[in-house]
Amino acid sequence: MDFELDADQESLQEGVRAFVEGRVPLDTVRELEAAGARVDRALWAELGEMGVFSVALPEDQGGLGMGVAEAALVFEELGRGIVPGPLVGTALAAGILDGAATGELVVAVLEPAEPITVVEFPADVDALLLLADDGIRRIDPATLETTPVGRPTDALTPLAVVNSAIPTGELIADAAASARARLVGTTLTAALQVGVALRATELATQYAKEREQFGKVIGSFQAVKHLCADMLIRAEVARVAVYAAAVTLDGRSDDDVVRAVAAAKCVAGDAALQNGKSGIQVHGGNGFTWEFDIGRYWKRACVLDTQFGNSDEHALHVAEMV
Amino acid sequence: MDLLYTAEEQAFRAELREWLGDVLPTLGSEPDREDWAARRAWDLGWTATLHRAGYSGINWPKEFGGRGATPTEHLIYIEETERAHAPYIGMNFVGMLHAGPTLIAEASDEQKAFHLPGILEGRHLWCQGFSEPNAGSDLASLRTRGVRDGDDYVINGQKIWTSFGHVADYCEMLIRTDPEAPKHKGISWIIVPMDTPGIDVRPLRTMEGSTEFCEVFFDDVRVPVANRVGAENDGWRVAMVTLSFERGTAFVADVIKSMELVRALKEFAQHVTSKGATRWEDAALRLEIGKCAAELDALWALTKRNISQAQRTGLVGVGGNVFKVAWTDLRHHLGDVAMRVLDRASLSIEDVAGLANGEHVSGRFFALSMSIAAGTSQVNRNVIGERVLGLPKER
């Protein structure tokens, strides 16, 4: 047993972090947001070229030939950068739909839900994946009647509400592949949540080191310091839960895979949401402005919690498996 | 990242499991928890049994009589012994987890030769004399004095929270040997035989009603200078060596036990009813139980990461502080959830009316002490804020 990252995993994570910081820094994210948060096709192709969508795809299928654990490390970095776009859907489509692995296609997951079903990135999405019980179904977005959401909670995640019945679409993978895709998609979404939780901790800590009140930096006050410490604790606990789930999906653990994935999404979802909130609190009034990025982290946490089952649903699922 | 165990680790587990299967049925029943003489004999007897089988001092180096197990084997050891409901380290925890490792790191050859076998073979019981009534989180402000007089230190003062002090043979103790020096620079670490004249041990009753803690009073207690470990006034550094051991695998058994408690709680909830429905049909309770279980799974993963880090670097690092705070918060949460499941059965510390409520209720009391002992959650948050996040000290 060795639960530390190996040298290849460390360099993979560092490489993706450097790419995100260089190619999609928060300045660029804000520009994309101001321009309506359309999917940047050039960026999407660059992400595809890096292998972001095909980490766990075998090399003979054009992938990096690594595992879900490595994919989780990559998605943690994308979460840290709140990189916009249907990242998980496109990664799940890699190897099933031509052009997904390379980032030529923009693919999102469609999750029929109540009270509304939404399509993410409706102006850009080329294909939708329905992870049904009988298999993965490809749905053409043009076959859905939708109404755009005027003011999405996360301006970086544009949405449209589906008004029509969901068509059956085209069966493109079997039931086992669909079940596996649900687990992988849940884990990669949890990895994005971990990235959000970690970066929110860093943003709050940085602010607490700079902002002065009562003649001192506010991070010296225990009331603020403990908010930051709790953010780190939640992020670190969530991070290992997600790594454990990913490693289990790779067959590198004897744990029950369904339970490991559910626990990861539960813990990571709570960590991202709570760290977003605490991060805003540390930023004070500035945290509530459009100008400061911490609010974008909370908003992304809100989106991610609704994907692949929210934290409470996964907690109830874990309770059944106790 | 790999959570699969190697062939050697699996063989270690299989051998241990087989041995436990053979030895545990021969043990008889555990003594009453307040019968301290019987508990001392039980705990030291278990250590002696472990020693005969080569498991005592599982993670101690071989050259000092231990098994020299790797951190992963140590984890497997705790996991297997806890799952098999073998006796825990019990009263021997100070000797095995604090005093022994400190002696290995800092003591003279003579001190090691005398004391280490006593701990490993289950002959000597140790207690700890660190905290004082006015030196808790601010441990370095301790005032129990040790004044040099010939070849002795003459010790006067008071210690508190000394677990099992009334049945211990030796005390690992911090005394102030230079009251003029800055507070961290005037402390020495010394071995005090508990039968030395002038020591008065008074059991301290906890809010649960147990008397495992003691207050220990020292009135002109003469202890040879030769009992000091490390240099005079270097005791703070020596003590920190001890405390760093506490954050390694110290709570692993509690995590495993809590996983069993969650299962027991579910079982309980499925069988007791309230207003015509089983407690398990209450989605709010199921949700809380599920959250506790998910967090426990996450902390089990964190344990494995901390162990892996210890295996690579020899240190647990900040993962130990993160674990301690997260774990004790979770233990509080689990206790509170259990109370809601048990309802009025939570009002008895003993099992009542044929219900298995007792372990949940006493566990909830235990949680209250967990977030205070071995560094309060507040001190740990300061450590994380300052040493990991780099935030400035308050002052």
Residue B121 lies in a domain: no
Predicted pLDDT of residue A44? 98
Same-domain check for residues B226 and B137: yes
Whether chain B has a CB inside 8 Å of the CB on A314: the answer is yes
Domain with B63, as residue range(s), is 7-88
What is the pTM (predicted TM-score) of this model? 0.96
Number of alpha helices (DSSP H) and beta strands (DSSP E) in chain A: 10, 9
Measured between CB atoms, which of A9, A228, A264 is closest to B1? A9
Chain B residue closest to A219 (CA)? B391
Predicted pLDDT of residue B243? 61
pLDDT category at B251 given cuts 50, 70, 90 is confident
Same-domain check for residues B165 and B259: no
Contact B191, B111 (CB under 8 A): yes
Chain A residue closest to B73 (CA)? A1
Contact A159, A152 (CB under 8 A): yes
**What are B317-337's pLDDT values in tens digits?**
778 889 999 999 999 999 999
Same-domain check for residues B132 and B190: yes
Q: Distance from B75 to chain A by nearest Cα, in Å?
A: 11
pLDDT at B139 over 90: yes
Contacts of B204 by beta carbon, 8 Å cutoff, 6+ apart: B160, B161, B211, B213, B214, B215
Q: Considering only residues 251 to 280 of chain A, which have any Cβ-Cβ distance to chain B shorter than 8 Å?
A: 252-255, 259-260, 262-264, 266-267, 270
Whether chain B has a CB inside 8 Å of the CB on A7: the answer is no
Report CA dihedral (A124, A127, A131, A132) to the nearest 10 degrees.
Answer: 130
**For residue B371, how many C-alpha atoms fall within 13 Å in the half-sphere facing its CB?**
18
Predicted pLDDT of residue B245? 54
Residue B335 lies in a domain: yes
Same-domain check for residues B224 and B273: no
Measured between CB atoms, which of B301, B322, B394 is closest to A241? B301
Same-domain check for residues B228 and B268: no
Strands (E), B125-274: 126-129, 145-149, 152-159, 170-176, 187-193, 199-204, 213-224, 228-229, 273-274
Alpha carbon B173 to its chain's center? 17
Domain count, chain B: 3
Q: In the sheet that A159-162 helps form, which strands lie side by side, from edge to edge? A: A118-120, A159-162, A146-148
Predicted pLDDT of residue A266? 98
Chain B residue closest to A210 (CA)? B391
Contacts of A191 by beta carbon, 8 Å cutoff, 6+ apart: A71, A72, A73, A74, A75, A76, A79, A242, A246, A268
Residue B383 lies in a domain: yes
pLDDT at A96 over 90: yes
Contact A193, A302 (CB under 8 A): no
Rg (CA), chain B: 22
Predicted pLDDT of residue B248? 62
Q: Which CATH number fits domain A7-173: 1.10.540.10, 3.40.140.10, 1.10.3720.10, 3.40.50.970?
A: 1.10.540.10
pLDDT at A152 over 70: yes
Q: Distance from B384 to chain A by nearest Cα, in Å?
A: 6
- Mutant choice from A222, A233, A266 vs B, greatest count of B C-beta within 10 A: A233
Lowest-confidence pick of A80-94, A126-140, A143-157, B86-100 = B86-100
Instruction: Look at residues B203, B234, B265 and tell me which one is the last residue of a structural domain.
Output: B234
Alpha carbon A137 to its chain's center? 22
pLDDT at A293 over 90: yes
Q: A233 vs B322: CB contact, 8 Å cut-off?
A: yes
Whether chain A has a CB inside 8 Å of the CB on B1: the answer is yes
Q: A263 vs B298: CB contact, 8 Å cut-off?
A: yes
Residue whose pair of structure tokens reads 């002959």 in the numeric block: B123
Please, which contacts does A102-106 make with residues 24 or more away whose CB atoms are closer than 8 Å?
Answer: A102/A45, A102/A48, A102/A49, A102/A53, A102/A62, A103/A44, A103/A45, A103/A46, A103/A47, A103/A48, A103/A49, A103/A52, A103/A53, A104/A44, A104/A45, A104/A48, A106/A39, A106/A41, A106/A44
Per CB-CB distance under 8 Å, the chain A contacts of B376 are none
Instruction: Look at residues B88, B114, B139 and tell me which one is the last residue of a structural domain.
Output: B88
Residue B120 lies in a domain: no
Q: Considering only residues 105 to 124 of chain A, which have any Cβ-Cβ distance to chain B shorter than 8 Å?
A: none
Q: Considering only residues 133 to 192 of chain B, which have any Cβ-Cβ distance to chain A shorter than 8 Å?
A: none
Per CB-CB distance under 8 Å, the chain B contacts of A316 are 283, 286-287, 290
Per CB-CB distance under 8 Å, the chain B contacts of A253 are 3-4
Backbone angles phi, psi at B364, to 5 degrees: -70, -40
Instruction: Look at residues B64, B88, B112 and tell me which one is the last residue of a structural domain.
Output: B88
A208 in helix, strand or coil? Answer: helix
Q: Is B80 a catalytic residue?
A: no
Q: What percent of chain A has pLDDT over 70?
A: 100
Same-domain check for residues B226 and B155: yes
pLDDT category at B244 given cuts 50, 70, 90 is low
Which CATH number belongs to the domain containing residue B197 in this structure?
2.40.110.10
Chain B residue closest to A9 (CA)? B1
Cα–Cα distance, B372 to B386 (Å, whole number): 19
Backbone angles phi, psi at B190, to 5 degrees: -140, 150
Whether chain A has a CB inside 8 Å of the CB on B315: the answer is no
Cα–Cα distance, A218 to A229 (Å, whole number): 14
Contacts of A72 by beta carbon, 8 Å cutoff, 6+ apart: A187, A188, A190, A191, A242, A243, A245, A246
Task: State how far the alpha carbon of A206 is from the alpha carbons of A78, A146, A202, A255, B142, in Å.
Answer: 20, 42, 6, 37, 36
A213 in helix, strand or coil? Answer: strand
Cα–Cα distance, B124 to B96 (Å, whole number): 10
Cα–Cα distance, A241 to A239 (Å, whole number): 5
Same-domain check for residues B229 and B255: no
Same-domain check for residues B253 and B351: yes
Q: Where are the domains of chain A?
A: 7-173, 176-321
Rg (CA), chain A: 19
Q: Distance from B219 to chain A by nearest Cα, in Å?
A: 39
**What are A56-79's pLDDT values in tens digits?**
999 999 999 999 999 999 999 999
Predicted pLDDT of residue A243? 98
Bond prior to A115 in cis (omega within 30° of 0)? yes
Query: Which of B227, B276, B274 lies closest to B115 in space, CA to CA?
Result: B227
Catalytic hit among B246, B281, B295, B394: B246
Chain A residue closest to B298 (CA)? A241
Quote the Cα angle for A95-A101-A103, to 5°: 150
Contact B330, A263 (CB under 8 A): no
Contact B189, B174 (CB under 8 A): yes
- DSSP label at residue A92: H
**What are B144-153's pLDDT values in tens digits?**
999 999 999 9
The CATH number of domain A176-321 is 1.20.140.10: yes
First-to-final CA distance of chain B:
42
pLDDT category at B240 given cuts 50, 70, 90 is confident
Residue B168 lies in a domain: yes
Q: In this structure, how many other beta carbons lie within 10 angstroms of the beta carbon of residue A180?
A: 18
**What are B274-319's pLDDT values in tens digits?**
889 999 999 999 999 999 999 999 999 999 999 998 888 877 777 8
Same-domain check for residues B224 and B262: no
- DSSP label at residue A316: H
pLDDT at B250 over 80: no
Per CB-CB distance under 8 Å, the chain A contacts of B386 are 225
Same-domain check for residues B264 and B374: yes
Predicted pLDDT of residue B377? 96
The average pLDDT across B51-64 equals 95
Predicted pLDDT of residue B242? 65
Chain A residue closest to B392 (CA)? A220
pLDDT at B374 over 70: yes
Contact A243, A69 (CB under 8 A): yes
Residues in chain A: 322
Q: Considering only residues 43 to 62 of chain A, which have any Cβ-Cβ distance to chain B shorter than 8 Å?
A: none
ipTM of the complex, rounded to two decimals? 0.96
Predicted pLDDT of residue B318? 77
Residue B95 lies in a domain: no
Which CATH number belongs to the domain containing residue B283 in this structure?
1.20.140.10
Report CA dihedral (A255, A260, A261, A262) to the nearest 10 degrees.
Answer: 140
pLDDT category at B230 given cuts 50, 70, 90 is very high
Measured between CB atoms, which of B297, B308, B326 is closest to A1? B308
Same-domain check for residues B227 and B280: no
Residue B205 lies in a domain: yes
Predicted pLDDT of residue B34? 86
Whether chain B has a CB inside 8 Å of the CB on A74: the answer is no
Residue B114 lies in a domain: no
Q: B294 vs A6: CB contact, 8 Å cut-off?
A: no
